[in-house]
Amino acid sequence: MNSIYYKIRKAFVFKNGKIAGILLASKRRFVFIYDADYIDKDGTSIAINLPKSKRIFYSKCLFPFFSGLLPEGENRADICKRLKINVNDDFAVLLALCKNESIGDITLQEIQ
């Protein structure tokens, strides 16, 4: 029996330690939403293709900004093997590698 419901995975996105928004992932798409407090304060956009706004951003694949934080090729395969993560699961790799530090000032924390 096919279900129309998919598990939605969620993560807080932090910029310089402050919550900038939420990243959601389902089987069909990714969604990014800026936090209302972050928009009202003088925080900057997290990426050029994700301008600070009240709109909801949708994508069929991981947004280019976030995929740019991921390792590629053999490095990715090795990391995924060591962490026991599916090499094709961009969201899981992103969460595992960007918990405490990443390139730049962005970190992520999974929402249970």
Express each pLDDT in 27-82 by its tens digit. Answer: 889 999 999 999 988 678 999 999 999 999 999 999 999 999 998 999 999 999 99
Mean pLDDT (the chain) is 89
Threshold 0.85, pTM exceeds = yes
Q: Answer with the residue of higher pLDDT: 41 or 5.
A: 41
DSSP 3-state assignment of 87?
A: coil
Which residues have C-beta within 8 Å of that of residue 41, sequence separation ≥ 6? none
**5: pLDDT strictly greater than 70:** no
Q: Are 76 and 93 in contact (CB under 8 A)?
A: yes
Q: What is the pLDDT of residue 1?
A: 47
| Alpha carbons 78 and 59: distance in angstroms, whole number | 27
The closest of 49, 5, 56, 16 to 35, measured between CA atoms, is: 56
